[in-house]
Amino acid sequence: MSRLGDWLDERTGHRKLLAEALDEPVRGGARWAYVWGSALTLSFLVQAVTGWLLMTVYQPSATTAWSSVWYVQNRVSWGFVVRGLHHFGAQAMVVLLVAHLGQTAIYGAYRRPREMNWLLGLVLMGLTLGFALTGYLLPWDQKGYWATRVATNIAGSVPLVGPSLQRLLVGGSDYGHLTLTRFYGLHVALLPAALVLVLAAHVALFRRHGVTPPADANPEKTEPFYPRQLGKDLVVGLAILGVLFALTLREHGAPLDAPADPSSDYPARPEWYFLALFELLKFVPGHLEWIAALGLPLVLGGYLVALPFLDRGADARPSARLRLLAPLALVALGGAGLTWRSMSNDSADPAFLAARRVAEERAEHASKLADKGIPPAGPLAMLASDPATRGPQLFAKHCASCHRLGDVGPAADKASAPDLSGWGSRAWVAALLDDPDAIHLFGRTAMKGMMPSFKRAPADETEAATFKPLSSADETAIVDFLEAQARGDSAKGSEGEKQVKQRCTTCHRLDGEEPLDPESLAPELRGWASLAWTHAQIASPGGGKTYPAGVMSEKLEGHMPAFAETLEPKDLDLLAGWLHDTASRLPVATSKP
């Protein structure tokens, strides 16, 4: 080994390089307080290595970014580990940055002659936050997309230069391919190059001036970097790696929300290290948000830049600089308080928690759909053709202003159309036969009072005297028949069909035959609530397939419109299919007038 070392040293001079690195004198002796710079460098190396690995799979476009990240997370061997280390490593850099900044300020390591190194450290802090902001968008999921929109909108509100700055970041007026490629270019090219250059200068100046020992350290005591200080750095570095691996394995990588959808709603929140600023903006009027979002960080940055030039006292002890360090301590405490307040408010906000549950369900559902294959048009096309995703969106947009389904739509006392929860099920038919005027059925519609109860005596005493309630056997037969219609089974020749013809065709049509009452507005019962019936009703309520032709527009003012005129055929098919499959599975509403 000695001969091999001699041969290698003759050709590379590695022994001199190692001596320069390991024999560096550490004034005041090895200390745990000196580990933060090395820990930050290690974290950056983790980011660089994992980032390069992610770049081998990642595709920076609005149609492929989410798909490629999902592929890394779920298909690439150990891909979730690489992505998790990159995600949590970014957060570790922020934590270590604050720790390093605090240690440097307490020890007075910014004082003469180290002012330039302090300024370079502040530049490194800004670059690190730039990495966080630009990397946020790259998965092109809901969380990153909406958080980036908030950030760029705030930048756009700055007087004079704001709109131009926003267009430069976004790549135009719309968020899309150009936005993503610009952020990607910043994240993987410009920011890394700048950080490497500044970090090299920072380390060179650090080696020139050495560490700054605490004020009570023995100025005559020095020891080489190897072995004690190197050992402490390695212990902390291994501990950081252990934490990163533990978090990665616990979360199975990093979170991935549903694909970014500009037409959706999302409870946008930044990462925890920007929560303080997010919470602060709640106290500022909208047109002044840019002052808090950009002005306050600039003021804090300006104070940090001026700190070495303000601290000119001969006494290097921290107690002698309390008046200079106190503002930084107040900012740290204020930031921690605002972060805690933001988290507490969110955890106690039912609306936010409900929105988060919906977002998590969408993310999980999108991942399951992706498992079956993502079309070339991208994940949004995948979701647009999925009934479970697109159906609720179409219902909320086109139906929920009048109808209620589950917990979506107006309350029972405000709805102008039937509650569709349980529609097409046995329970819904039974409730209709019992009390058709119930507010969740027809209680607030123009059909109230048109259909009598088959089980409750009429209010009129003369009619009540001759009323005979529907027997259990006959009720079961009718319920069986109508439930069969909803399933798509005609049930022709059944006992239920006989009961319907006997009891219901006075008002209802069956197989298109006109009822005894030609002025009746009652719907066609053959195929009632089936997929075809549902599709025809949504497409054209007065088209003659579900209700009598023309009467909806002529006699029921304000009745539902013909959505065939406003919905694309594929959306009409999707909405009808989703509503038919979903409504009957829900419990029937029980609200009474």
Task: Give the domains, in start order, of the chain with CATH numbers.
Answer: 29-257 (1.20.810.10), 388-583 (no CATH)
For 39, residues 6+ apart whose C-beta sits below 8 A from its C-beta are: 96, 100, 233, 236, 237, 240
Tracing tokens 């006494």 back to the chain, one arrives at 315
- For 581-591, what is each residue's pLDDT tens digit? 999 999 998 75
Alpha carbons 101 and 123: distance in angstroms, whole number: 12
Contact indicator for 550, 542 with CB cutoff of 8 Å: yes
66, HSE (Cβ side, Cα atoms, 13 Å): 33
Give pLDDT, residue 556.
Answer: 57
Give pLDDT, residue 557.
Answer: 54
For 206, residues 6+ apart whose C-beta sits below 8 A from its C-beta are: 37, 117
Residue 593 has pLDDT above 80, yes or no: no
Give pLDDT, residue 550.
Answer: 63
Q: Which residues pair with residue 510 across a beta bridge?
A: 513
Q: How many CB atoms lie within 10 A of CB 422?
A: 23
- For 447-498, what is each residue's pLDDT tens digit? 777 888 999 888 888 888 888 899 999 999 999 999 999 999 988 989 999 9
pLDDT band at 78 (very low <50, low <70, confident <90, very high): very high
Q: Strands of 133-235 (E only): list them.
A: 222-224
- For 263-283, what is each residue's pLDDT tens digit? 888 998 888 888 998 898 888
What's the whole-model pTM score? 0.82
Give pLDDT, residue 555.
Answer: 58
Give pLDDT, residue 413.
Answer: 73
Alpha carbons 300 and 284: distance in angstroms, whole number: 18
Give pLDDT, residue 551.
Answer: 57
Q: Strands of 158-292 (E only): list them.
A: 222-224
Burial of 11 (0-12, 13-18, 19+ CB in 10 A): exposed
For 423-471, give the DSSP string: TTSHHHHHHHHH-TTSTTTTTTSTTTTTS--SSS--SSHHHHHH--PPP
Contact indicator for 410, 404 with CB cutoff of 8 Å: yes
Largest CA distance in the chain: 119
Q: If you average pLDDT over each of 80-89, 94-103, 156-165, which comes out highest?
A: 80-89
**Nearest C-alpha neighbor of 444 from the set 427, 419, 426:** 419
Contact indicator for 544, 554 with CB cutoff of 8 Å: no
Residue 399 has pLDDT above 50, yes or no: yes
